[in-house]
Amino acid sequence: MTSTLTLQALRRLRTTPGGQLDCRINFADGPGSSRPVAYVERELQPNGISAYLDARKSGARSFVLWADEDRTARVATLVTVSAGSGRAQFQVVSPQGEVLGEITRDQAFHRGLRTRWTVGCPGSPDALGYKGRLFWWCVWWLCSPLLPLIIVAALFGGGGGDFPRGPRRIKWRTGGQVPLEFKSSGDTVHLNAPGLDWRLGAALVALIPSFDSWIGDPWDRRKD
């Protein structure tokens, strides 16, 4: 059975103590079963927000998945192993220090035409996924000269101000199977493989939107 994890922005949610949380992750394993399972917050270093924003330019990310709004327990933590030169490597770690999985992002045109995401779990072969289909990327670039007009129409056309974005769907494949899939509509990760740790999927569904382009609105880029 496929389970889904969906990222929901919570830019106006404030808790006491601790200030603002960034996002909530909802889990569903059937119709009508959606429920919150984690709350996402950037994990800032001693130098604070400015240091985080500087580090994220090279691809670094760091955030905590809390079990509840009051931050009483961690579900998992995502840490950067290395970042720079078009590649960023992350680990998802349990509260006990167990490595739940590793995620690698290779930027487009560094190791291929499309951004490549690699997900690895202990004891399992790596799964490879590419951002968008080549056909839709060709369509996107062919239409790119019209982007300024499309953006203006989105701003002033009464459509809610949603900006067009390039293809974002990702399918991970390994051994002829598709254990994971990210769907850009609703920022949702589908867990198709039985036994796949949902905490790894939760970290992934929070991580991918943080790499949205300038047209998007990455949740971890806020300056307060």
- Asked whether residue 178 is domain-assigned, the answer is yes
Is residue 161 included in any domain, yes or no?
Answer: no
Is 142 contained in some domain?
no
**How many residues are given for the chain?**
224
Query: Looking at the domain assignment, is residue 19 inside a domain?
Result: yes
Please state, in angstroms and as integers, the Cα–Cα distance from residue 145 to each residue in 141, 151, 167, 214, following that order: 8, 11, 16, 17
- If one counts the domains in the chain, the total is 1
Domain housing 63: 3-132+168-221
The answer to whether position 124 is within a domain reads yes
Residue 139 lies in a domain: no
Q: What are phi and psi of 112, to 5 degrees?
A: 150, 175
The DSSP secondary-structure symbol of 164 reads P
Half-sphere exposure of 11 (CA within 13 A, CB side): 9
pTM of the model: 0.87
Q: CATH number of the domain at 107, please.
A: 2.40.160
Interval 175-224: pLDDT, tens: 999 999 999 888 999 999 988 999 999 999 999 999 987 667 899 998 88
What share of the chain in percent tops pLDDT 90?
Answer: 63
Name which of 93, 141, 89 is nearest 114 in CA terms: 141
| Range with the largest mean pLDDT of 40-49, 90-99, 163-172 | 90-99
pLDDT beyond 50 at 16? no
Q: Which tens digits make up the pLDDT trace of 35-82? A: 999 999 999 988 889 999 999 999 999 999 999 999 999 999 999 999
How would residue 20 be classed by pLDDT, with cut points 50, 70 and 90? confident
- Indicate the helix (H) or strand (E) that contains 113: none
In a domain, 158, yes or no: no
